[in-house]
Amino acid sequence: MPTLPLRDESTVYVGHQYDSSPAFGFLWIGTETRYRTAAHLVRRPASGETVIEIQCATCEKELLLRVRSIALSRLMRKRSLITALVGLAVTVLAIAIGLVSEYAGAPIPLSTALGAVLVAAVPVGFATVGVGAYGWYNEASIRLYTATELGDGTHRLLAGAGSHGALAP
């Protein structure tokens, strides 16, 4: 997965949705959404995170961008990776203990506390891997807010969204 470096200063594009219509493609039916976009220059803080107030160029609504420093964004991402790895370790360990005890001729009964813990550890571990991997891939160093809620359906952060993945500014 290509990881683009985060910049101290980047231009993000905030879109105001003005139209959407059904779209038909080859073996694909979806919605085509059209936005009026406006560019905003965002400067990252040296550390921690900050909230920048911007105004939609189309409807003049007040919008908020939560901007994380490069260091904080990296830290959040590292935490997610550690979460995923811990989840993976728990899953593998639970399966390994189960298999080893089975082959050793002393399977752990489900009625015991250890058996119940091992059975529960597998889905919990898998879920933890999912949560961690999602956070690692999607850590949003820049996120759009409105004053009252997270996202309002009309405004969206488009290109330059600040994910470490495909959209890192």
Residues at the site binding Zn ion, with contacts judged by CB under 5 A: 16, 56, 58-59, 61
* Closer of 16 and 77 to Zn ion (Cβ): 16
Nearer to Zn ion among residue 38 and residue 72 (C-beta): 38
| Residue 64 vs 133, nearer CB to Zn ion | 64
Count of alpha carbons within 13 Å of 52, Cβ hemisphere only?
A: 20
Rounded Cα gap, residues 63 and 14, in angstroms: 10
State in angstroms the smallest separation of the CB of 151 from Zn ion. Answer: 13
Residue 65 makes CB contacts below 8 A (sequence gap 6+) with 12, 40, 42, 51, 52, 54, 142, 143, 144, 145, 157
Q: Closest CB to Zn ion belongs to which residue?
A: 56
Nearer to Zn ion, 17 or 50 (CB): 17
Local structure of residue 166 (DSSP, 8 states): T
Question: Of 6 and 54, which has the nearer Cβ to Zn ion?
Answer: 54
Rounded to whole angstroms, the Cα distance separating 23 from 56 reads 27
CB of 61 to Zn ion, least distance (A): 5
- Smallest CA-to-CA distance from 168 within 77, 54, 81, 83 is with 77
- Minimum distance between the CB of residue 17 and Zn ion, rounded to whole angstroms? 8
Shortest Cβ 44–Zn ion spacing (Å): 24
Residues 6+ apart with CB under 8 A from 75: none
At its nearest, how many Å lie between Zn ion and the CB of residue 62? 10
Q: Take residue 20 and report the two structure tokens written for it.
A: 């959407």
